[in-house]
Structure 1
Amino acid sequence: MSTPDPAPAPRPLVLPDGRPAAAGWSLDPAVKHLNHGSFGAVPLVAQQEQNRRRRQMEASPVEWFPALPEKIAAARGALARFLRVRPDDLALVPNASAGASVVYGGVPTRPGGEVLVTDHGYGAVTMGAERLARRWGGTLRTAHVPLDADADTAYACVVDAIGAATGLVVIDHITSATARWMPVGRIAAEARRRGVPVLVDGAHVPGLAADPLAGVDCDVWVGNLHKFGCAPRGTAALVARTPLRDHLYPLIDSWGAPAPFPDRFDTQGTIDATGYLAAPTALDFVADTWGWDPARTYMRELADYAERIVAAAFSELTGEDCRVDVGTPVDALRLVRLPAPLAATHAEADALRDRVGRELGVAAAFTSFGGVGYLRLSTHVYNTAADFEYFAEHCVPVLGAWSRTDSPGGRRGTHGRRPPLSASP
């Protein structure tokens, strides 16, 4: 039986007036933007809406701030519809890490207890979990999940680590460093059966899943709307649907503190909340221009193509198979193994990211897991096959040459630093 030909590159998306999709953003055309997943990119229409709101704020601050909670509540309603949750279950926070910090400040104290994380966790969230465990006088326990674990194996690795001392489980919905889904619904259900609260870090999920919390009955779920949702940065959702919500408060105490959840999160003094207010404009831009389901299909098909051609380029260069089995891959995020010794640590991965941007004009994500360096490919509607073809043709040979010198983003110059607990955003 002959092997079917691989799927061709998807046709680039365009705006209604026929211009390339990228014309809807203000991204520098001199840079190849291959890392939407770290910080997102805000469409022009959402930037304009945020600027309009800022002008209103600065024109009359005394009028603006007393009326702001009502405006935020209206934005919450629109964002709740996008996430398919009840507005009364959703609070707005600056990012997923801030949402995790809210939980760490509100979860019931468990003297001597354990906080359970995995070795795929996002560094900032894991560091917060470590501090929580210290406050409890307990320990941070890390469950190892093999990179290539399927959903059943990943589930077993986590639930087998839940013990009598476990006071909180922190689990990624999509892992940042390793670009894979975790079976959070099943893990949350088992933890609930054992009476253990669960925090799900869904930082990358909004925009990539049509119904992010379907089948996920956790205590708290946090997700960034400024990643694949393209909202202004500093816009994230915290969804809480169990009694733990009554113990959750904003990181800043303000006059809204006596209000119930989530209303107390709508009053945060003089913060610039214009990103919250412009977030629905970003979501509507994608919905009205292409539709979110077609957008997700395009991102997946482009990621399939990008992963194939970039992995093939590295494999041809090294004579090794640079494809990566992550067990449960994500539509718009993929890993390709880098030639050793590139990006073997978090610090080296960040240094490589910076050098690639500086010398090759490419914004790309590099991560590390288990002492192995990876390129994390990321796609969005403004990307095209040509972006990744450029990387395969022009950047892969340079990275191969750098790997042989062990200098860029390598171990030289990083000795003595304590690397963070996980990889980049």
Structure 2
Amino acid sequence: MSETEVVTAPRPLLLGDGRPAVAAWSLDPGMLHLNHGSFGAVPLVAQHRQNELRAEMERAPVVWFPQLPDRLAATRAEIAGHLRVEAADLALVPNASAGASVVYAALAARPGQDIVVTDHGYGAVTMGAERLARRWGGRVRTARVPLAADAEQAYRAVMDEVDDRCALVVLDQITSATARRLPVERIGAELARRGVTLLVDGAHAPGILPAPLEGLVCDAWVGNLHKWGCAPRGTAALVARGPLREHLHPLIDSWSAAEPFPHRFDQQGTVDATGPLAAPTALDFVERTWGWETARRYMDELADYGAGVIGDSFAGPAGPVERVDVGMPVPGMRLVRLPEGLGATRVAADALRDRATVELGAEAAFTSFDGIGYLRLSAHVYNTPADYDRFAETCVPVIEDWARQARAGG
């Protein structure tokens, strides 16, 4: 952020009765919660709904489980409405990584063929692609997309890796470590023209993007509802519209295995499905209380404010640090560069995250890209400007001291 740039703090969101938004959650008030994007946070109304559903399940399990497929089908329809897709195209899976695993398992063997990912890809999904490539006797090729690449540069970086040996491309719609978009719509259209399969990892998209599949051509898309959608964990969507959908099967074979997609996903043994069943309660709560459009605008303004306040506090006597340019930014997420010596690898960034929770009382996301450590801010409606002011005042000086110790080898 430059010295002439001033970002105004947005007015905190309130509940209908005038209480602060955070009162609708059960978050520990003694901690700073600045990392909604990793594991989400479930509002009390959805927690209560899930508890009611669990109590119903335990009162009469023999009644509950035979009725479950119909109830999940109805829930899928509600979730599809929020994502603006057809219910017939949407299956429920535990998380985006599980959805990716479903896709990998469904693809026919393509001996000697390659898979293209990017250096922004989510590690677990990339590991699944590597396992699939080993099965095929091919390899995973990584498209290097500069952090500041615009849509054209990112498109070229990916498509330069796609040749006649490429059978599958796996792309993040919104990248986890680097908090940016990739031009999946344009890439998807070109891959479809070439007959190359595309899996889009939209883990962060539900809630951040109003219609994440609008204008997107892909063979499969996966997205988490427990992140920005605030649903109970274990709730994600797998959307498939083309021929691949008939080959997609849940990771657990059960009595609905012979049903068509997506109904075969509505019954998976004795899995506790109360999380997905309570998901519409969380999505509806945000819509009813503030409206998703208002919520997204607030989250974006707040993340912008937080990046400015924290970035300036990291500057020290050398002057303000430059804002991190991610080329294709997304609402509600920002990167702040860490002092040299901190978080340069994924392992180091994870260790910093764990240390911050213990020593600073702050839940924050520390990430790395291309050998540089970052603080990744991901705001939600329960956050306020005061959260970022507090982090800047109390946490940044300690983090800077950690960096001095690291550079000194201590």
State whether TM-score is above 0.5.
yes
Q: Over residues 12-57 of structure 1, what are the superposed CA-to-partner deviations in whole Å (9 max), with x where a residue is unaligned?
A: 0010011100000000000010000000000000000000000010
- CA distance in structure 2 between the aligned counterparts of 1:153 and 1:214, rounded to whole angstroms: 22
- CA distance in structure 1 between the aligned counterparts of 2:106 and 2:279, rounded to whole angstroms: 27
TM superposition shift of 1:126:
0.3
Aligned residue runs from structure 1 range 325-364, under 5 A: 325-364=325-364
Q: Is the 8 A contact 1:318 1:339 kept in 2?
A: no
- CA distance in structure 1 between the aligned counterparts of 2:317 and 2:342, rounded to whole angstroms: 14
Q: Give 2:271's aligned residue.
A: 271
Q: Is the 8 A contact 1:25 1:44 kept in 2?
A: yes
Q: Is the 8 A contact 2:93 2:236 kept in 1?
A: yes
Q: Is the 8 A contact 2:311 2:320 kept in 1?
A: no
Q: Is the 8 A contact 1:298 1:381 kept in 2?
A: yes
Change (3 A) 1:193 1:116: same
- CA distance in structure 1 between the aligned counterparts of 2:257 and 2:271, rounded to whole angstroms: 15
| 1:215 aligned counterpart, secondary structure | coil
- CA distance in structure 1 between the aligned counterparts of 2:106 and 2:258, rounded to whole angstroms: 15
TM superposition shift of 1:331:
1.1
- CA distance in structure 1 between the aligned counterparts of 2:98 and 2:317, rounded to whole angstroms: 42
TM superposition shift of 1:411:
8.9
| 1:331 aligned counterpart, secondary structure | coil
Q: Over residues 323-378 of structure 1, what are the superposed CA-to-partner deviations in whole Å (9 max), with x where a residue is unaligned?
A: 21110111111101000110011111011001111011010000011111000011
Identity across the alignment (%): 65
Q: Is the 8 A contact 2:7 2:308 kept in 1?
A: no
| 2:237 aligned counterpart, secondary structure | strand
Q: Give 1:151's aligned residue.
A: 151
Change (3 A) 1:83 1:317: farther
Q: Are positions 1:131 and 2:128 aligned together?
A: no
Q: Over residues 304-328 of structure 1, what are the superposed CA-to-partner deviations in whole Å (9 max), with x where a residue is unaligned?
A: 1111111111122665725211101
Q: Are positions 1:193 and 2:229 aligned together?
A: no
Q: Give 1:46's aligned residue.
A: 46
> Normalization by structure 1: what TM-score?
0.94
Q: Is the 8 A contact 1:314 1:322 kept in 2?
A: no
Aligned residue runs from structure 1 range 100-249, under 5 A: 100-249=100-249
Q: Over residues 185-217 of structure 1, what are the superposed CA-to-partner deviations in whole Å (9 max), with x where a residue is unaligned?
A: 001111111100100000000001111111111
Q: Give 2:377's aligned residue.
A: 377
Change (3 A) 1:399 1:4: closer
Between stretches 324-333 and 275-284, larger displacement belongs to 324-333
Between stretches 169-178 and 324-333, larger displacement belongs to 324-333
- CA distance in structure 2 between the aligned counterparts of 1:161 and 1:188, rounded to whole angstroms: 14
Q: Give 1:99's aligned residue.
A: 99
Q: Give 1:7's aligned residue.
A: 7
Letter paired with 1:236: A
TM superposition shift of 1:93:
0.3
Q: CA RMSD in A?
A: 1.4
Change (3 A) 1:275 1:147: same
> Normalization by structure 2: what TM-score?
0.97
TM superposition shift of 1:240:
0.2
| 1:175 aligned counterpart, secondary structure | coil
| 2:208 aligned counterpart, secondary structure | coil
- CA distance in structure 2 between the aligned counterparts of 1:125 and 1:411, rounded to whole angstroms: 34
TM superposition shift of 1:287:
0.4
| 2:207 aligned counterpart, secondary structure | coil
- CA distance in structure 2 between the aligned counterparts of 1:90 and 1:176, rounded to whole angstroms: 23
Q: Give 2:85's aligned residue.
A: 85
Q: Give 1:405's aligned residue.
A: 405
- CA distance in structure 1 between the aligned counterparts of 2:178 and 2:228, rounded to whole angstroms: 17
Q: Is the 8 A contact 1:317 1:400 kept in 2?
A: no
- CA distance in structure 1 between the aligned counterparts of 2:8 and 2:337, rounded to whole angstroms: 22
- CA distance in structure 2 between the aligned counterparts of 1:368 and 1:362, rounded to whole angstroms: 18
- CA distance in structure 1 between the aligned counterparts of 2:319 and 2:381, rounded to whole angstroms: 33
| 1:142 aligned counterpart, secondary structure | strand
Q: Over residues 268-320 of structure 1, what are the superposed CA-to-partner deviations in whole Å (9 max), with x where a residue is unaligned?
A: 01000000100000000000000000000100110111111111111226657
Q: Is the 8 A contact 1:348 1:411 kept in 2?
A: no
Letter paired with 2:108: P
Letter paired with 2:290: W
Q: Give 1:67's aligned residue.
A: 67
Letter paired with 1:175: T
Large movers: runs of 4+ above 2 Å: 3-7, 316-323
- CA distance in structure 2 between the aligned counterparts of 1:377 and 1:287, rounded to whole angstroms: 23
| 1:349 aligned counterpart, secondary structure | helix
| 1:406 aligned counterpart, secondary structure | helix
- CA distance in structure 1 between the aligned counterparts of 2:207 and 2:317, rounded to whole angstroms: 35
- CA distance in structure 1 between the aligned counterparts of 2:180 and 2:316, rounded to whole angstroms: 25
Segments of 5+ residues of structure 2 without an aligned counterpart are none
Change (3 A) 1:411 1:202: farther
- CA distance in structure 2 between the aligned counterparts of 1:318 and 1:40, rounded to whole angstroms: 36
